[in-house]
């Protein structure tokens, strides 16, 4: 028996490992990369990764740090970077943190994970608005907590409403997750929306909030983005703000994020990080310092370009007709989550007798028929939707929209009876 076969047959993995779902975004990206490696011409809008290069000041700082900053740092990050982050949040968001209340992490995902591990355990509930980023429910499960999903609707732009939140809250609700702007929908909650949510939380004084604000610089409204922690002292003391450098600064490969939290929470998160990975890369931290030194308008051209791409994709989706239901234009991030439920129950021409019953089946057929990779909404708690990332060039977006339009308007039809297919 081969080693691989022995492991597959004989190893009993933990209940925790068996209960976790794989990340669909990573899964689709891996399949796409295999197709490209095999020589196929694939367009992928499956990964939330800006196509811009990092700012030149960041690149120069990286080069210099590779010569001078190659040692371990404090687990929570260098004092210089934590101090700079605290000053950055005070200036841009009006939230006052000490350096000891900042933990620099290996990407923002680690910051979320450490927060949930610090605050939640068996018997606790984590309220998560849907559609949600794929990892939120799984991170709650890793902590032994129970994810509680709150539905939103396409018609109101997938925005969490206070009435829906109130209905989901119980005396076991330890944590509310707010991703604002939201992955995968691009929905933004403004100051008035956030205050309504804060009013609900007044009745649950033991509930904390994870305010995932990783996309806050990619915000298309004229009013500035409001940090949830800025709504008042009571909210501040039980909010953990998540942010990082991947999306706004196009520094995805640097794996640099951070959390900002009241000192007791930050201290526990740092202790957990000390047993997981220790410090973030010293070189990445030096690059992060350079990013925060950039003027506020240094990213404006990125935001304008993302908005133009958003408007292009929305216009193309609307023109595709009744098989694609488009939400109101998302106000941030670089995602659109159209509803493709009118396509479900149809078959595509390569498998005319087999109906597409799920968004996963839809995306698999689209990849097979038109070499276009999108992520199924099943992964985000939106089973009738697909996620489109427009964080790529307009020529590639044009190719992608051409492929999607051809698929939904030409390749799909009611499934045929098997005996009729055999006669064709």
pLDDT at 423: 43
Query: How far is Cα 177 from Cα 110, in angstroms, rounded to an integer?
Result: 15
Query: Any idea which fold 16-47+299-423 has?
Result: 3.90.1150
Q: What is the pLDDT of residue 7?
A: 65
How many residues in the chain?
A: 424
| pTM given for the model | 0.92
- Residue 114 CB partners (closer than 8 Å, separation 6+): 103, 105, 259, 269, 272, 273, 276
- Which pLDDT does position 305 carry in this prediction? 96
List where CATH 3.90.1150.10 sits in the chain: 16-47+299-423
**What are the residue ranges of helices labelled H in 94-231?**
108-119, 135-142, 162-168, 191-201
Torsion of CA 8, 32, 54, 83, to 10 degrees: -30
Q: Which pLDDT score is estimated for 358?
A: 92
Measured CA to CA, the distance from residue 389 to residue 247 in angstroms comes to 12
Query: What one-character DSSP code corresponds to residue 127?
Result: E
Instruction: Using CA atoms of 372, 378, 381, 385 in order, give the dihedral in degrees to the nearest 10.
Output: 50
> Residue 132 has what pLDDT?
98
Furthest C-alpha separation in the chain: 74
* The predicted structure's pLDDT at residue 329: 95
Structure tokens at 274: 């000390």
Six-digit token pair at 268?
């526990």
CA distance 222 to 357: 40
Tokens of 394: 């307009």
Peptide bond into 181 cis (omega under 30): yes
Residues in a beta bridge with 376? 386
pLDDT value for 8? 60
The span from the CA of 267 to the CA of 260, in Å, is: 11
Write the CB contacts of 46 (distance below 8 Å, at least 6 apart in sequence): 25, 28, 29, 32, 373, 374, 375, 387, 389
Q: Where are the beta strands (DSSP E) in 35-96?
A: 43-44
Residues facing 413 on adjacent strands: 347
**Three-state SS at 20:** coil
Cα gap 404→348, rounded to integer Å: 13
CATH number of 56-294: 3.40.640.10
pLDDT < 70: residue spans in the chain: 1-9, 22-27, 417-424
For residue 12, what pLDDT is reported? 80
Residue 57, class by beta-carbon neighbours within 10 Å (0-12 exposed, 13-18 middle, 19+ buried)? middle
**Stretch(es) of the chain classified as CATH 3.40.640.10:** 56-294
């Amino acid at each position: 028996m081969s080693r691989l076969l022995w492991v597959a047959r004989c190893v009993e993995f933990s209940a925790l490992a068996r209960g976790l779902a794989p990340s669909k975004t990573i899964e689709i990206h891996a399949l796409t990369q295999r197709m490209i490696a095999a020589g196929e011409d694939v367009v992928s809008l499956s990964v939330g990764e800006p196509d811009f290069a990092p700012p030149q000041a960041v690149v120069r700082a990286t080069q210099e740090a590779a010569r001078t900053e190659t040692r371990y740092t404090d687990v929570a990050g260098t004092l210089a970077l934590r101090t700079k982050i605290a000053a950055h949040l005070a200036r841009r968001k009006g939230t006052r943190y000490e350096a000891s209340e900042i933990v620099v992490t290996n990407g923002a995902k680690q910051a979320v994970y450490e927060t949930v591990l610090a605050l939640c355990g068996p018997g606790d509930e984590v309220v998560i608005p849907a559609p949600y980023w794929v990892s939120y429910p799984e991170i709650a499960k890793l902590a032994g907590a129970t994810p509680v999903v709150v539905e939103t609707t396409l018609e109101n732009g997938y925005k969490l409403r206070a009435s829906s939140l109130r209905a989901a809250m119980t005396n076991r609700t330890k944590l509310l997750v707010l991703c604002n702007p939201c992955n995968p929908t691009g929905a933004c909650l403004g100051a008035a929306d956030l205050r309504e949510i804060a009013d609900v939380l007044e009745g649950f004084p033991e509930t904390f909030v994870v305010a995932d604000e990783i996309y806050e610089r990619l915000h298309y409204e004229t009013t500035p983005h409001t940090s949830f922690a800025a709504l008042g002292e009571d909210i501040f003391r039980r909010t953990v703000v998540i942010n990082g450098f991947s999306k706004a600064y196009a520094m995805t490969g640097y794996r640099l994020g951070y959390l900002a939290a009241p000192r007791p929470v930050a201290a526990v998160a740092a202790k957990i990080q000390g047993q997981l990975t220790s410090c973030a890369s010293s070189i990445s931290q030096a690059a992060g310092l350079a990013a925060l030194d950039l003027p506020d308008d240094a990213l404006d051209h990125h935001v304008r370009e993302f908005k133009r791409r958003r408007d292009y994709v929305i216009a193309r989706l609307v023109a595709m007709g009744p098989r694609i239901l488009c939400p109101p234009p998302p106000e941030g991030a670089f995602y659109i989550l159209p509803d493709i439920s009118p396509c479900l129950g149809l078959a595509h021409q390569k498998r005319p007798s087999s109906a597409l019953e799920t968004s996963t089946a839809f995306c698999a057929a689209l990849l097979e028929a038109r070499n276009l990779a999108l992520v199924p909404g099943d992964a985000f708690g939106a089973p009738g939707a697909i996620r489109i990332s427009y964080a790529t060039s307009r020529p590639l977006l044009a190719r992608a929209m051409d492929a999607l339009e051809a698929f939904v308007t030409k390749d799909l039809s009611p499934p045929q009876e098997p005996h009729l297919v055999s006669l064709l």
